[in-house]
Amino acid sequence: MKSHGPILLLLILFFAVAAKAEDGYKLWLRYAPVQQGPELNRYRQLAGYITITGEGPTQAAIRREMSTALPAMLGTTPGFSSVAGAEPGIHFVLDPQAGIGYQHPWQKEQCFSVKYSEGANGGDRIIVSSPSAIGLLYGSFYLLRQMAMQIPVGQWPTITAPAIRWRMLNHWDNLNRYVERGYAGISIFNWHTLPGDTDQRYTDYARANASVGINAVALTNVNANATVLTDQYIEKVKALADIFRPYGIRVFLTARFSAPIELDKLPTADPTDAQVAAWWQQKAAAIYKAIPDFGGFLVKANSEGQPGPQNYGRNHADGANMMARAVAPFGGIVIWRAFVYSNETPEDRFKQAYNEFVPLDGKFDSNVVIQVKNGPIDFQPREPFHPLFGALPHTQTAMEFQLTQEYLGFATHLVYLAPMFREVLDADTYRPQQGSTVANVITGKSYAYNHTVMAGVANIGNDINWCGHPFAQANWYLLGRLAWNPAANAETIAREWIQQTLTQDAGAINTISKIMLGSHEAVVNYMTPLGLHHIMGNGHHYGPAPWFNSAPREDWNCTYFHRADAKGIGFDRTSTGSNAIAQYATYWQRQWESVGTTDTRYLLWFHHVPWNYTLANGRTLWDQMGVQYQQGVDAVAAMQKQWESVAASVDTQQHQKVSRLLSIQLSEAKWWRDACLLYFQPFSGNPYPKGAAPPLQSLDYYKNLRFPNAPGNGQ
Ligand code: GCW
């Protein structure tokens, strides 16, 4: 008689794993058991037998992933072979023809196709094919995602390729492991123990990235330390690059412009100096010798005190091209940031990047990309799209989003960033004509760019769950999915993430997706409604401080940005003010020139509006402000209730963590509401707005709060 012992044991193990308290370490790759459903048996049959053609580290990674995932999800332990035949099951096949139809060679390399054929008596087959092993790896994660979401096999799309070439994380991690604007512990990159300790966490990081198609990572802070370019550190970088390579991830480093002086005592870092150029060429050669697929350099120059070509009377193109020529022979690129504003220029900070880069359009080498933040100031809760998008037809222009929530409640507030990213990607630049959205610009559709990039400033640290807030993981997930397909829907991505990470219960998925989709508007309302911006605490950017006006520079003061006075509030950027709107296409200039035609979401970005100005809804500006601050607070209270309602469907440990954080978020939302309304009220000349609940503390109380150890703002 056949013994049922092993099966029983497997089942017990299966459910034991399912019931274990979760700490979030596994991210969306937790591979929870797929619940009983019509597809389960089909998945099980398919998972029984897997062939992976070709031998290599990426194939090994696919095998490892399938061996981990399938038993956990389906209770099926797959058998493996490396020769594809006529057997049923899942076949990963290298096929040079698979990418036919794609425009760019890089797309062909990273695409994969999925073909399903139904066979008699459990003879179903799935063939995943791609010209490259990396394409197959993407295909394997894709299959696992479909199974986790219980999508019927027949409905799986047939072929897909990324729309953006470099789907990238930018870590602002210092070599001493301090993470600038990091709220989830210290850096995951332990430079001290590298290259010797190739911790499993590096592999898990690579798996997570590859699973959402992220294929590039800049390991170090843009406020750069030249030490990472020394031989000692190149060995450490190499160790990471070796771990990441099988997962299709290429490593970039931030390059400090003054490195030739700092590391080798050159008298200058002038980009037109032959010795300086030779230094960078040698440095590039040394890096490529250790890391043949090194991606290139990410550079912050002449911004916030970082050295750059302007120190020598040269411009950004001189600097970027000099470095680009050093990496060009090896196929590398230089990503040069457009986040620049001068220490001296009294010009509206909003305008400075455009002013510096537009005259240089067409002057950059073909392996230079200009990386532009989504908005013109600095990752505020809501910004209009950056005027540089669409304004550089001859210069590859990339998107820089910020995943780490520097201005969005750190890792304490639940804020799903997809609606905000969508708002920017869908914005029509009207350049060169109507329909040229920001997404079209950065995918190279508006202008033919070869190197396209979407970067996210990482929100990752060594916290057990990587991101601090369990929901902050969704923003990491989002970056990959959106960079793969910048047309992807915010809700679809949320649902995917929820179903893989938190629960498979349909009702709970609906509720959690509602929480996520409303969370960005909530934070905008309780922090900076109606186009207010940069009114956070100085330096650390924690909490409200609209009163702050003692910074050494005018444009580091909150009062510079909101300009509240007896007449009104907001920054006049029309022709009567700084005229920043002139940097946009005529369509937007017309919209934003007058208060009446400006979308209220951006109102105070562009206008100094009288307190008693009547808005289209009949309320005065001041009353509307009260209403929106309150709406923000109410939205968090509603999120709390919704979250409580899904307690039974989510792991208890995870659920309680989120509940605790939501309580803090609610009290901080009230703090924002009270501090801002109390501060603005005397300027408004009006009574406290009726729409808002009475403040919990006095203005002095809020003004006297101090946060000397707020995270992310040290060294
Ligand atoms: O948002 C600001 C941050 C700085 C950051 C800078 C930048 C890395 O406050 O911490 O520096 O932007 O993007 O360069």
Catalytic-residue membership of 22: no
The span from the CA of 710 to the CA of 707, in Å, is 5
Q: Which of 242, 361, 378, 491 is catalytic?
A: 378
538 pocket-lining for ligand 1 (C-beta < 6 Å): no
Q: How far is the CA of 26 from the centre of ligand 1 (A)?
A: 29
Q: Which of 406, 521, 651, 668 is catalytic?
A: 406
The span from the CA of 565 to the CA of 266, in Å, is 51
Question: Does the pLDDT at position 146 exceed 70?
Answer: yes
Q: How many Cβ atoms are within 10 Å of 629's Cβ, its own excluded?
A: 29
Q: What is the pLDDT of residue 627?
A: 98
Q: What is the pLDDT of residue 5?
A: 54
Confidence of residue 8 (pLDDT cuts 50, 70, 90): low
CATH 3.30.379.10: does it fit domain 29-160?
yes
Q: How far is the CA of 388 from the centre of ligand 1 (A)?
A: 18
pLDDT by residue (tens digit) across 670-695? 999 999 999 999 999 999 999 999 99
Q: How far is the CA of 178 from the centre of ligand 1 (A)?
A: 14
The percent of residues in the chain predicted with pLDDT above 70, rounded, is 97
Would you list the DSSP string of 481-498? HHHH-TT--HHHHHHHHH
The span from the CA of 64 to the CA of 491, in Å, is 31
pLDDT by residue (tens digit) across 390-420? 999 999 999 999 999 999 999 999 999 999 9
> What angle separates helix 506-527 from helix 621-645, to the nearest 10 degrees?
150
The span from the CA of 140 to the CA of 58, in Å, is 11
Q: Which ligand 1 atom sits nearest the alpha carbon of residue 300?
A: 14
Average confidence score pLDDT of the chain: 95
Length of the chain as a residue count: 715
Question: Which residues have CB under 8 Å from 275's CB, separation 6+?
Answer: 260, 266, 268
DSSP reduced 3-state for 536: strand
Cα–Cα distances in angstroms (integers) from residue 153 to residues 41, 127, 704, in the given order: 11, 12, 60
DSSP reduced 3-state for 611: coil
Which residue's CA lies nearest to atom 11 of ligand 1? 223
pLDDT by residue (tens digit) across 270-290? 999 999 999 999 999 999 999
The span from the CA of 459 to the CA of 476, in Å, is 7
Q: How far is the CA of 180 from the centre of ligand 1 (A)?
A: 8
Token duo for residue 100: 């036919």
Question: Does the pLDDT at position 121 exceed 80?
Answer: no
Pocket test for ligand 1, best of 299, 378, 540, 715 (most atoms within 8 A of CB): 378
For the chain, report the end-to-end CA distance as a whole number of angstroms.
68
- Read off the DSSP letter of residue 569: E
Q: What is the pLDDT of residue 16?
A: 46
Give me the mean pLDDT over the 303-327 stretch: 97
Pocket test for ligand 1, best of 304, 373, 558 (most atoms within 8 A of CB): 304
What H or E segment, with its residue span, contains residue 515? helix 506-527
Pocket test for ligand 1, best of 174, 178, 179, 180 (most atoms within 8 A of CB): 180
Catalytic-residue membership of 378: yes
pLDDT by residue (tens digit) across 417-431? 999 999 999 999 999
218 pocket-lining for ligand 1 (C-beta < 6 Å): no
**pTM over the 0.85 mark:** yes
DSSP reduced 3-state for 397: strand
Question: Does the pLDDT at position 170 exceed 90?
Answer: yes
Token duo for residue 16: 């034991």
Question: Does the pLDDT at position 6 exceed 60?
Answer: no
Q: Look at residues 3, 33, 28 and name the one whose alpha carbon lies nearest to residue 15.
A: 33
Q: Which residue has the tokens 């997930």?
A: 477
What H or E segment, with its residue span, contains residue 453? strand 453-457
Confidence of residue 9 (pLDDT cuts 50, 70, 90): low
CA 73 to the chain's CA centroid: 28
Pocket test for ligand 1, best of 178, 179, 181 (most atoms within 8 A of CB): 181
181 pocket-lining for ligand 1 (C-beta < 6 Å): yes
Confidence of residue 341 (pLDDT cuts 50, 70, 90): confident
Q: Which of 235, 264, 304, 565 is catalytic?
A: 304
Thinking of the domain 166-501, which architecture would CATH place it in?
A: Alpha-Beta Barrel (3.20)
Q: How many Cβ atoms are within 10 Å of 419's Cβ, its own excluded?
A: 18
Q: How far is the CA of 406 from the centre of ligand 1 (A)?
A: 9
Give me the mean pLDDT over the 229-251 stretch: 98
Radius of gyration of the chain (CA): 26
Strands (E), 226-274: 250-254
Which residue's CA lies nearest to atom 7 of ligand 1? 339
The span from the CA of 521 to the CA of 635, in Å, is 9
Domain 525-571+608-703: assigned CATH number? 3.90.1330.10
Bond into 432 cis (ω within 30):
yes
Q: What is the pLDDT of residue 20?
A: 59
Range 431-446 burial, b when 16+ CB lie within 10 A, else e: beeeebbbbbbbbbbb
Q: Look at residues 325, 335, 331 and name the one whose alpha carbon lies nearest to residue 218.
A: 335
Q: What is the pLDDT of residue 441?
A: 98
Q: Which residue has the tokens 């290139």?
A: 296
Beta bridge partners of 398: 371
User: Residue 646: left (phi > 0), alpha (psi -120 to 50), or beta?
Assistant: alpha
Strands (E), 60-176: 79-81, 89-94, 112-117, 125-130, 159-160, 166-170
DSSP reduced 3-state for 168: strand
CA 694 to the chain's CA centroid: 37
Q: What is the pLDDT of residue 154?
A: 84
Residue type, 263: L
Q: How far is the CA of 309 from the centre of ligand 1 (A)?
A: 19
379 pocket-lining for ligand 1 (C-beta < 6 Å): yes
Q: How far is the CA of 375 from the centre of ligand 1 (A)?
A: 13
222 pocket-lining for ligand 1 (C-beta < 6 Å): yes
Judge whether 142 and 114 are in contact, CB under 8 Å.
yes
Question: Which residues have CB under 8 Å from 620's CB, separation 6+?
Answer: 611, 612, 613, 614, 686
pLDDT by residue (tens digit) across 527-581? 999 999 999 999 999 999 999 999 988 889 999 999 999 999 999 999 999 999 9
Catalytic-residue membership of 406: yes
Q: Let me know how many helices (H) and strands (E) the chain has, helices first.
A: 22, 16
pLDDT by residue (tens digit) across 47-100? 999 999 999 999 999 999 999 999 999 999 999 999 877 789 999 999 999 988
Beta bridge partners of 89: 125
Beta bridge partners of 218: 170, 252
Listed by start position, the domains of the chain span 29-160, 166-501, 525-571+608-703
Token duo for residue 483: 């960079």
Q: Report CA torsion sign: 144, 149, 150, 156.
A: negative
Cα–Cα distances in angstroms (integers) from residue 180 to residues 173, 540, 681, 693, in the given order: 6, 10, 34, 36
Bond into 152 cis (ω within 30):
no
DSSP reduced 3-state for 568: strand
The span from the CA of 449 to the CA of 436, in Å, is 14
pLDDT by residue (tens digit) across 435-450? 999 999 999 999 999 9
Cα–Cα distances in angstroms (integers) from residue 155 to residues 50, 116, 150, 275, 308, in the given order: 21, 10, 11, 59, 52
Lowest mean pLDDT among 235-249, 330-344, 414-428: 330-344
Q: How far is the CA of 66 from the centre of ligand 1 (A)?
A: 39
Residue type, 156: W
Q: Look at residues 473, 471, 500, 493 and name the one whose alpha carbon lies nearest to residue 33.
A: 500
Cα–Cα distances in angstroms (integers) from residue 414 to residues 206, 461, 506, in the given order: 25, 17, 21
172 pocket-lining for ligand 1 (C-beta < 6 Å): yes
DSSP H helices, 83-230, are 105-110, 133-148, 200-211
Give me the mean pLDDT over the 343-372 stretch: 94
The span from the CA of 66 to the CA of 50, in Å, is 9
Token duo for residue 330: 């090896």
